[in-house]
Structure 1
Amino acid sequence: MCFVVFAYDCHPEYLLILAANRDEYHARPAAPAHFWEEAPDLLAGKDLLQSGTWMGISRPGRFAALTNYRDPASVKPEAPSRGKLVKDYLLSSADPLLYINSLDASREVYNGYNLLIMDQTGMWHYSNKTGQSLKIIPGIHGLSNHLMDTPWPKVVRGKDHLSLILKKHSETVPVDSLFELLSDNQQAQDQDLPKTGVSLRWERLLSSIFIQNEAYGTRSSTVLLVDRGGIVHFYERTFGKEGQMIGSDIVYRLPAHFISPVLPKSF
């Protein structure tokens, strides 16, 4: 994943409203979101090189997503796949904070990442670049290839767009409005670009929410809604090199244990 905006516990109808884009090299093989044969309770896309995933949910009521932390100077070519971290959390029953604490011992082994995890008790962000965890408070948040809510142009733009959607729709949130947010290909002005160690050409290319490039770009867009009754609404679109949609929408609706019997309106 390279871009995630979400509203957590701040809408009358939904506990979570999330819109995310996965950007990756087009040559890297991946399967779209599906229930895994070897893990029937896991709904996620799959990296066919390393068998991990970038985002997923599980029927027992767990969610996780991972973004790359962009720092080319510190990349370790032989580092293990970070997609395993998402898969391991989703398939475990570990307390989220205990799971995060367990990652600290291996934080130097992996290339930089941000991990969002969630269960019935709450939602957290962890980055191995800082070694710190953050409990997500109710509100609108954004995450790209730096830290939580870093005000990169695409993050600010996405959060502002999501805020407008929620102000306009106090009840049912139209899924198409969230996919429209994710299709925004406007690049930032040069003076507003972050300086992450890539070339100016790449900073420009990576500054839009939706990225189109023959070699690297937005491969999939995902909208995830968890309503106050604990029902998960999962939508995904996949894209080719020219930014064209491939196939039709992938849609899943499933009950999950996202509602605590003690705290019925929050995780």
Structure 2
Amino acid sequence: MCLIAFSWQPQARHLHLLANRDEFYARPTQPAHWWPDSPTIWAGRDQQAGGTWLGINRSGRFAALTNVREAQMSVGKRSRGELVTDFLTSSLSPQAYLAQVLSQGEQYAGFNLLLGDLAMDKDEGELWYGGNRAGGEARRLNAGSYGLSNAQLNTPWPKLTRLKQGLAQLDETNEASAFALLDDTTQATPESLPNTGVSPELELLLSSAFIHSSTYGTRAQTYLCIKDQQLDIIERSRGAQAELISTQRLQLILPSA
């Protein structure tokens, strides 16, 4: 997952989120579904390492992951996708889970992790952020608007700023407008590009919300809304020609205490 914008109201357990996952087209992936081997998880699945980039479970837990872009991309001893899967099957609080993960952060390549527990038996919902690079200290998120790409939380990259602005004006019932924001191919101007250590040409390619090249691009797009105990999530899968392959939908009523 490489781009996430979301608004969050913990007292109402109201989470409104847009996300794009970018990946090499050659990496095999399953669209979102209930996992046969972990039947409480609804998520897409990376068939190479077995994990996922964004998912939910039946009790109101949510998790999403982005990579950290670095000039020298390292390969961790463990797959980052397991961080989402393990939280969705864990009984640990987001705070305790992040503490455990970040204590072992050197085993993974650079990541940002977003964890939520919106169970109805709590006074209010919890949403936490943490990562294994500088600035990624674990923190509980207060009510507000946030964005996450391949740097730390709320780093104002142009595509992230545009997506946050679009989300703030979005009618939650307008699915077409939500995916139009995720389909945005507008690239940043050269002077506004971040400097993450990769080439200017690559920075430009990666500067749009929707990415497409011959080998790498946006593979999955997610629209999620949790409000009034109801969870609605839509995932669109995209192919190597940027074509729409499939659409997965789920509506779920979160269980009461």
Q: Same fold (TM over 0.5)?
A: yes
2:202 counterpart residue number = 202
- The AA in structure 1 aligned to 2:160 is V
Partner secondary structure for residue 39 of structure 1: coil
CA offset digits 1:179-204 (Å, max 9, x no partner): 11100000000000001111111100
1:232 counterpart residue number = 231
- The AA in structure 2 aligned to 1:103 is V
Tell me if structure 2 keeps the 8 A contact 1:5–1:20.
yes
Partner secondary structure for residue 66 of structure 1: strand
Q: CA shift at 1:77, angstroms?
A: 2.9
1:159 counterpart residue number = 164
Distance 2:165 2:201 in 1: 26
Partner secondary structure for residue 87 of structure 1: helix
Tell me if structure 2 keeps the 8 A contact 1:185–1:208.
yes
One of 68, 72, 76 as aligned partner of 2:74: 76
Distance 2:65 2:163 in 1: 18
C-alpha distance 116-54 of structure 1, shift in aligned 2 (>3 A):
same
1:132 counterpart residue number = 137
Q: CA shift at 1:164, angstroms?
A: 1.9
Tell me if structure 2 keeps the 8 A contact 1:58–1:256.
no
Distance 1:95 1:188 in 2: 38
- The AA in structure 2 aligned to 1:107 is G
Distance 1:254 1:142 in 2: 25
Distance 2:5 2:139 in 1: 16
CA offset digits 1:130-164 (Å, max 9, x no partner): 35112112121110000111000011111111112
Tell me if structure 2 keeps the 8 A contact 1:4–1:21.
yes
Distance 2:103 2:169 in 1: 41
- The AA in structure 2 aligned to 1:187 is Q
Return 16-25 or 134-143, whichever deviates more: 134-143
User: Structure 1 unaligned runs (5+)?
Assistant: 262-267
How many residues in Structure 1 have an aligned counterpart in Structure 2? Answer: 250
The TM-score, its normalising length taken from structure 1, stands at: 0.89
Please list every run of at least 4 consecutive aligned residues from structure 1 whose deviation after the TM superposition is greater than 2 angstroms: 75-79
Tell me if structure 2 keeps the 8 A contact 1:10–1:139.
no
Distance 1:236 1:42 in 2: 14
Tell me if structure 1 keeps the 8 A contact 2:53–2:64.
yes
* Identity level (%): 40
Distance 2:175 2:10 in 1: 17
1:145 counterpart residue number = 150
Q: CA shift at 1:78, angstroms?
A: 4.9
User: Structure 2 unaligned runs (5+)?
Assistant: 119-124
**Superposition pairs of residues 1-267 of structure 1, within 5 angstroms:** 1-9=1-9, 15-73=14-72, 75-120=73-118, 121-130=125-134, 132-165=137-170, 169=171, 172-228=172-228, 230-247=229-246, 249-257=247-255
The TM-score, its normalising length taken from structure 2, stands at: 0.93
Distance 2:209 2:98 in 1: 28
CA offset digits 1:76-134 (Å, max 9, x no partner): 33532100010000001111111111012211111100000000341010011035112
Tell me if structure 1 keeps the 8 A contact 2:75–2:108.
no
Q: CA shift at 1:11, angstroms?
A: 11
